[in-house]
Structure 1
Amino acid sequence: MRIIIGENYRDMSRVAADMMASQIILKPESVIGLATGGTPIGFYKELVSLHNQGKFSFKQVKTFNLDEYYGLDKNNLQSYHYYMVENLFKHIDIDLNNINIPDGTAKDIEAECKSYEAKIKNAGGIDMQLLGIGINGHIGFNEPDIKFEAITHLVNLDEETIEANSRFFTSIEEVPRSAISMGIKTIMHAKKIILLASGNEKAKVIERMLNGPITPDLPASILQLHPDVTLIVDKEAGELIRE
């Protein structure tokens, strides 16, 4: 695993955006996996800036998002579909037909999950996957104890995750209790992975991910086995990383 420690949040965001831009420049038809949450916002700002400078185009790019809250319509202000439109899609030249996000209102969840997996496979697999990490070690919404062989599935969110995400809602009662998420197996099939982490509250989980046992108790620990992972952190999140 390659480790890059940025001077600050903007520095780490810029490094990650440069890597993603390079992927698209080298392969304009790249299939990109995208993440949401607080940490990637700076990354998206930097990526949009590079695009607006004429460095590259999204016209041939296909995107697949990691997850979506179950029960939220795509126009809901807290949906990840809305998040992606506001932070990336409305600022770039992507073909809207090439955007893929799980349908949080699907009546047949099993069919939706199977369909999402099929779309990824038919696109040729994900070339570069962006990840964040939860304080409990989840990637996507794959909470502790979820089997590593899981593919796209419906996840019941841990109370720790619900509490952490409540900062985006008016109250904790409004936070959905489940989500559709790419599984660990799906994530591990990505050819390249970028994992972002910011802030000292992520320092302990980053250290455990890097040096602890590979276990479903810490879902991100499986990344130790992936052949091409780049961990990009700011100084606070990387303060416990051993040289």
Structure 2
Amino acid sequence: MRLIIRSDYDEVSEYIATYVKNRILEYNPTRERPFVLGLPTGSSPVGLYKCLVKFYRNNELSFKHVITFNMDEYVGLPRDHPESYHSFMWHHLFKHIDIAPDNVNILDGNAENLSEECVRFERKIKSVGGIELFIGGIGPDGHIAFNEPGSSLTSRTRVKTLAYDTILANSRFFDNDINKVPRMALTVGVGTVMEAREVAIIITGAHKAIALSKCIEEGVNHMWTVSAIQLHPKALIVCDEDATLELHVKTVKYFKSIEHVINNLIGAENVGLQGNVKKYPTPEATPEVTPEVTPEVTPICEAFYNLPFKR
């Protein structure tokens, strides 16, 4: 697992957007070999989507050969409702880029047979070769998508009854009227997300600090479904400083030191996007590191080495 810490939400958004851009460019997708991207909704990815739109407008990135699968959708909410996740995605991302509408996959919360819709979604993912990179956000209770505490860590796309706390929290998007909030949703399962070849999670804000600590410093637990990411071979978490408030100091220092070693000792150019070492630098290419020695220590060291030891 890799943990990247940035100062604030904007820097997190810029980092993850640049990462997505570079992954797509490196993959070099074609019509026959598209890049398959899993996407979230909510407040976490809004900054990411703004950056991706900027990259497209600056001719730095194309989505012509990108296929997307969204994590979830409310049940019974019309597609054109302003709070549907269908509307959210088109408003924040899809209508601003060159993605083909047929390559956008969002669960249909108004399907006649909801269970069959979930099965169809899983089949569609498999039919395009699986998801290359799944981006996710989390809730303060550590849930990913609508896999709330207690969800099976092997769960697949399914119909999910929402917890009362989730309904209450989401009422802020529905004129603070809890009666307007859908009671059910369709959601990919934890197993669906973990089956992607790479998973990247965005975690920002002090209100998600406990969830991050549960994910990083404690064991895998179905009461904190994001903790399943510990079992993924290619997992990335990008967080801001506020989200680290519940982490041990040594944990934060450890992950920051790893990034320091890559950037300043190994060389970022020698490490792949997913953390794999492409080329280990030769001693000649490795910057010389001089340990810091305080002035008070230096005379002591010199005096020690001048002592007349007997063999």
Q: TM-score range by the shorter chain?
A: over 0.9
Question: Which runs of 5 or more structure 1 residues have no equivalent in the other structure?
Answer: none
Contact kept in structure 2, 1:6 and 1:234, CA below 8 Å: yes
Match of 2:102 in 1: 97
What is the Cα deviation at residue 158 of structure 1? 1.2
Instruction: Give the distance between the partners of 1:168 and 1:150, measured in 2 at CA.
Output: 27
Match of 1:52 in 2: 57
Identity, % of aligned positions: 40
Matches within 5 A, 1:69-88: 69-88=74-93
* 1:2-56 C-alpha deviation (Å, 9 max, x unpaired): 1111111100000000011111112222100000001110110011111111112
Q: What SS does structure 2 have at the residue aligned with 1:33?
A: strand
* 1:203-225 C-alpha deviation (Å, 9 max, x unpaired): 01110111122121111111110
Match of 2:186 in 1: 180
The counterpart of 1:223, out of the listed 229, 241, 255, is 229
The counterpart of 2:122, out of the listed 117, 124, 130, is 117
Greater RCO (CA < 8 Å, at least 6 residues apart): 1
Instruction: Give the distance between the partners of 2:221 and 2:68, measured in 1 at CA.
Output: 29
Q: Which amino acid letter does the alignment assign opposite residue 68 of structure 2?
A: T
Question: Which runs of 5 or more structure 2 residues have no equivalent in the other structure?
Answer: 253-311
Match of 2:210 in 1: 204
Matches within 5 A, 1:17-32: 17-27=17-27, 28=29, 29-32=34-37
* 1:59-92 C-alpha deviation (Å, 9 max, x unpaired): 0100000000011121111100000000000100
The counterpart of 1:36, out of the listed 11, 26, 41, is 41
1:67 aligns with 2:66: no
Match of 2:9 in 1: 9
Matches within 5 A, 1:118-157: 118-157=123-162
Instruction: Give the distance between the partners of 2:124 and 2:92, measured in 1 at CA.
Output: 23
Match of 1:232 in 2: 238
Q: What SS does structure 2 have at the residue aligned with 1:237?
A: helix
Note the aligned Cα RMSD (angstroms): 1.0
Q: Which amino acid letter does the alignment assign opposite residue 167 of structure 1?
A: R
Instruction: Give the distance between the partners of 2:239 and 2:80, measured in 1 at CA.
Output: 32
Using the size of structure 1 for normalisation, the TM-score is 0.97
Q: Which amino acid letter does the alignment assign opposite residue 11 of structure 2?
A: D
Q: What SS does structure 1 have at the residue aligned with 2:239?
A: strand
